[in-house]
Amino acid sequence: METYGNPVLNRLPQHLKRFIVPQQYDRYTAIDQAVWRYVMRQNYAYLRNIAYYPYIPGLHKAGLTIEEIPNLQTMNDSLKHMGWGAATVDGFIPPAAFMEFQAYRVLVVAADIRQIEHIEYTPAPDIIHESSGHAPIIGEPEYAAYLQYFGEIGTKAMFSEKDFELYEAIRNLSILKESSSATEEQLSSAEAKLTAIQENMGEPSEMALLSRLHWWTVEYGLIGTVDDPKIYGAGLLSSIGESASCMRKEVPKLPYSLKALAYSYDITKPQPQLFVTEDFNQLREVLDQFANTMSFRVGGKVGLEKAIACKNLCTIVYSSGLQVSGLFQTGIAGSEIEYIKTVGPTALAYADKQLSGHGKTYHADGFGSPVGYLLGAVKALEDFDAADLKEYGIEIGLHTTLIFTSGIEVRGVVQSIEQRDKKNQLITFSPCQVVDSRSCQILFDPEWGTYDMAVGKQIISVFCGAADKEAYEQGAFVSETKTIVHQQNEVEKSKNKLYKVIRDRRTGQESDVLLSEIYQNITHNYPEDWLAYIETLELAIHDGDHLLATQIENRLLEIIQDHQHWSKLILDGINLAKNDQIALLLGPK
């Protein structure tokens, strides 16, 4: 994996590196560069008045220019001075992985760029959205801290099977919408599948709810007052269509609060309402309010029930600090958890580091252990000192019987007692039998081998994923659906050569091709390519060729008559081409 000399990327764990793909800068065509340039010129002209104030200088701080698609090396050279990094990925990645990248202070940048047909907005993540949307605000310390903190919270969020289905459906639809080869049948099928999943999600998971807060802040957030808001959300900053339409009075602006959780979102449509935060401190306050309800902070029976329901690898944390990572099944619980149980590979850890000898191969068939106090004990077993252990017969080499207040009994010969930070965490027995005296259910039999009993009076935290992801080799799920790489036909190759001539001329490279010849080429071969006309109009105005400039402008106005949906794009392009002040400001960084 390319780290671009950025220590932030060097610190990424292996399971996240699986998502990173090479940028392959040479694959960006001259048309791609023209799309970037058009969007960025529009952003500069419009957003300097309505974006949160650090946005424009933030472009330069993040290593971005108006004239060309950013190179990840340049971005990282700039971002590393702010303690951040950037890495390219293949489209949408799972929310859990996205959050973890954010926690490591890495912006994930989709390597692809939108097509001209979706120049105003694309539901698929692209390099315009990720770099020009997210990166410029990183230079604002309070906001950067919020992003990292959000990632840390998101990494702990519980998700469900339905969340995975929704992610795959969204990813598939976004890929198809950006593919020039997708058929109407494919699009209709993908949209129908997404709709069906959305309508049958059931109760939203922690990750689903957290994603809503992320959407209404990081992606589509406004800041200031309801009557005079500024844009800071990346989805708006990277959409030249919605950044303008969202400021209209008919789009409700609501004060940001935890009530935003009640508003779901659709990535394929303009947002029906937006939320305005007073400042970035409020973002953190609302996030904390929600985090206080999450399983990783609440733990207990509620957390375990979520872990069982999500049917994914989860970690529970005993009050002793011992962590158990596995696929949890129904254990035993009254008003509180009495016995936890996993099936399949399970690992034990402490402080997110796997315990030696307690990996998923050793506990390959699952793990079970009681939770709570010993009957008659005035203190928790985790807090027993040497005298307490001796009183209960918990000594290496001796047979003992431990009876928990729940009625669970552990009978066996003590082989070892593991302690960390003055807490008893793990007691190993062999031979051993564990039974629930109330139901006479055998929970562990001597024939099954050695019994490792976790120690803790309660479960204080529950979260998705393994405690030690690297040791468990769990990693986040990497989709098998890949972004479709478009293969240019001969007409498209020829058009790209034309855009290359235009670009070379604008950047001052020598060319024998006259501007009038470029115009004739467009007129004869690509008569409705409005972006090529806009690029040529700029050059004509710059060269002082007023006659040609008038011809091009008249042709653009004719295109509007036949294609009203291009009206704003074309008129905005004409206005920018004529604005000498903006043209001067948009030079190299």
Q: What are the pLDDT digits (tens) for 238-253?
A: 877 788 888 899 999 9
On average, the pLDDT of the chain sits at 89
Which CA distances in Å does 338 have to 71, 85, 320, 379, 528?
A: 55, 45, 15, 17, 71
CA-based end-to-end distance of the chain: 28
Q: How many residues does the structure list for the chain?
A: 589
Q: Quote the CA–CA distance of 437 and 427 in Å, as a whole number.
A: 21
Q: Quote the CA–CA distance of 396 and 428 in Å, as a whole number.
A: 9
Q: What is the mean pLDDT of residues 193-219?
A: 87
pLDDT digits (tens, 9 = 90+) for 41-93: 888 888 878 888 777 788 888 999 888 999 999 999 999 999 999 999 987 78
477 vs 336, more confident: 336
Q: What is the mean pLDDT of residues 381-387?
A: 97
488 vs 523, more confident: 523
Q: What are the phi and psi torsion angles at 229 (to 5°)?
A: -85, 160
Q: What is the mean pLDDT of residues 431-437?
A: 97
Give the list of residues 6+ apart from residue 570 with CB closer than 8 angstroms, or none. 530, 534, 556, 557, 559, 560
Q: Quote the CA–CA distance of 85 and 274 in Å, as a whole number.
A: 29
Whole-number pLDDT of residue 159: 86
Share of the chain above pLDDT 70, in %: 94
Residue 546 in this model has a pLDDT that exceeds 90: yes
Whole-number pLDDT of residue 587: 45
Mode of pairing for the β-strands spanning 106-110 and 221-224: unpaired
Whole-number pLDDT of residue 499: 94
168-177, 180-189, 302-311: least confidently modelled range: 168-177
Whole-number pLDDT of residue 485: 55
Q: What is the mean pLDDT of residues 468-486?
A: 64
Mode of pairing for the β-strands spanning 274-277 and 221-224: parallel
Q: Quote the CA–CA distance of 473 and 15 in Å, as a whole number.
A: 7
Whole-number pLDDT of residue 378: 93
Whole-number pLDDT of residue 479: 54
pLDDT-derived band of residue 582, with 50, 70 and 90 as boundaries?
very low
For residue 160 the two structure tokens come to 């469900």
Residue 123 in this model has a pLDDT that exceeds 70: no
Q: Which amino acid is at 71?
A: N
88-102, 423-437, 475-489: least confidently modelled range: 475-489
159-173, 374-388, 504-518: least confidently modelled range: 159-173
The pTM (predicted TM-score) of the whole model is 0.86
Residue 589 in this model has a pLDDT that exceeds 70: no
Burial of 74 (0-12, 13-18, 19+ CB in 10 A): middle
Residue 583 in this model has a pLDDT that exceeds 70: no
User: Contact at 8 Å (CB) between 576 and 584?
Assistant: no
Nearest alpha carbon to residue 187 among 173, 169, 166, 205: 173
Q: Quote the CA–CA distance of 160 and 311 in Å, as a whole number.
A: 7
